[in-house]
Amino acid sequence: MENPLIVSTLRERRAKTVLESQGYELLSVDSAEQISSTEFPRAPRLFVMQVNAEDLEEVQSVIASLRNQWPLTDILIWAPEVESELVRALFQSGVRDVILSQSETQLQQVVTETLENQQFLPRMHDLSHQRKKGARFESMLSRSTAMWDLFELCTRVAPTDATVLIVGETGTGKELLARAVHRRSGRPGRFVAANCASIPSELINSELFGHEKGAFTGADRAKRGLVMHANGGTLFLDEIGDMPPEAQLCLLRMLQEKRIRPVGSQSEVEIDVRIVAATNVLLDQAVREGTFREDLFYRLDVIRVNVPPLRQRPEDIFLLFGHFTKRLARHYGLEPPIFTDSFLDALLDYEWPGNVRQLENFSERLVLARFPSALTARDFERLRSTNLAETGQTLEHKQQAVWRKSVDPSRTLQENLDPVIEQLEREYLQAKLKQHAGRVADTAEEAGISRRTLLRKMKLYGIEKQDFKG
């Protein structure tokens, strides 16, 4: 087993010697700023920086960069001459600890304690020897070589106008990839997302391409479709395999001619829209079965991005789980849970059929459960297979966190209300599904919404009906 790699800006020779005497491998750089441009021989276990008051602004910028690239790697600051208000600023930047003592022995003790308390990094690094760079691409985290090959493909094709087809299981982050392609495309227009499965088949042409006033019953005014809203930008068509045949034909014409005709209109409109489509079904098979047009399939399948499921990239299970639990514990104002090796083994052995979305929901359930002792494999099975019974204290934590997050005088009233409404809607639907043991039709009827609307909202909030059965 390799010795822990510590990247440091320590200037004192004695401090370096004390750490090296413990068997740690020290990679020394001259300043905090140089850390970001340094190529590490392998993934670091710890960053240790010696800081003076005049270094604060530069160090805070470096800390923000490290938190972004290495979200689970702890940062320690040795700052015996820094005043208390500067210490607060360092903690707010995201460091694990600030050592104010001038003693090199005290520094060594904090370093040793930090390394001993790391729960995910040693295992995660063992699973990802090949990758030495950071972990974040846009809003996505990964240490998987396969995922980073995929990220690099997205980066290469983003500036082109090529149509992209993203293929992957539910919950793997297909929309996040589509947004990354748009952000890196340089296109001046907006990113507009449409879920083909959630739009009623009789309305999908109107939703996508717009309609004229009087085009059909209820069309009391003209409407711009999602394509026109995305003009100059990117239109993301999720679950493209569920698009009705008539809409498939209109989409094919749009891709061929770069024009659309709103429903009820006699004239066509020129458009400049980049299409990124996503599917969790095999379109090749849908073509063979006659449910998807072969000519449209070939138009969409110009650049194919295959997103591997979470079970095929175990290094990301630890990375994402560690990130989610730390972020959610901070969000709810709770202490992060502690785990035994048996829990981590169970976490890795489970196949995560719902992928990243399921892992994030599980992490939230675990944090809110507030276990008083280290979690075991038995706790994992219990949490995975049952719903969290929310106590009054748990609900209070959730509500306080939502209000803390939402009330911001610099934003509009609606922007302040949205997260509160979302939380209430999520909790209401979960309560109704629990009441009806996960039966979607019964839940939708009692909630006064259509079954399709309920399924769309369940997907939006990452709610799985299986969690409420039995």
Name the CA radius of gyration of the chain, rounded.
26
- Phi, psi (rounded to 5 degrees) for 415: -65, -30
User: So what's the pLDDT on residue 120?
Assistant: 65
| CATH number listed for the domain at residues 141-306 | 3.40.50.300
pLDDT (tens digit per residue) in 429-439: 988 888 888 88
User: So what's the pLDDT on residue 128?
Assistant: 55
User: So what's the pLDDT on residue 6?
Assistant: 93
Enter the tokens of residue 117: 């308390």
What is the DSSP-derived secondary structure letter of residue 339? B
Q: Tell if the pTM clears 0.85, that is, is over it.
A: no
Q: What is the pLDDT along the chain (470 residues), one digit of tens a residue?
A: 578 889 999 988 899 999 999 889 999 998 888 888 888 888 788 999 998 877 777 888 888 888 877 877 889 999 887 777 778 888 878 788 889 888 989 999 999 988 877 766 666 665 554 554 567 888 898 988 889 999 999 999 999 999 999 999 999 999 999 999 999 999 999 999 999 888 887 788 888 888 888 777 677 787 888 999 999 999 999 999 988 888 899 899 999 999 988 888 888 889 999 999 999 888 888 899 899 999 999 999 999 999 999 999 988 998 899 889 988 988 888 888 888 889 988 998 899 999 999 999 999 999 988 887 888 988 898 888 754 444 444 445 445 545 544 556 656 676 666 667 777 888 889 888 888 888 888 898 888 888 888 888 887 777 888 778 75
User: So what's the pLDDT on residue 408?
Assistant: 60
| CATH number listed for the domain at residues 5-120 | 3.40.50.2300
User: So what's the pLDDT on residue 416?
Assistant: 64
312-400 and 413-461 in the same fold: no
Distance CA 354, CA 132 (A): 28
User: So what's the pLDDT on residue 197?
Assistant: 84
Break the chain into its structural domains and give their ranges: 5-120, 141-306, 312-400, 413-461
The answer to whether 316 touches 310, Cβ cutoff 8 Å, is yes
pLDDT (tens digit per residue) in 352-382: 999 999 999 999 999 988 887 888 988 898 8
List CB contacts of 204: < 8 A, sequence separation 6 or more.
Answer: 196, 243, 244, 247
List CB contacts of 424: < 8 A, sequence separation 6 or more.
Answer: none
The string of DSSP codes covering 293-305 is -HHHHHHHTTEEE
Distance CA 451, CA 306 (A): 30
Q: Architecture of domain 413-461 in CATH? A: Orthogonal Bundle (1.10)
List CB contacts of 372: < 8 A, sequence separation 6 or more.
Answer: none
Distance CA 114, CA 27 (A): 18
| CATH number listed for the domain at residues 312-400 | 1.10.8.60
Nearest Cα residue to 5 out of 129, 137, 146, 97: 129
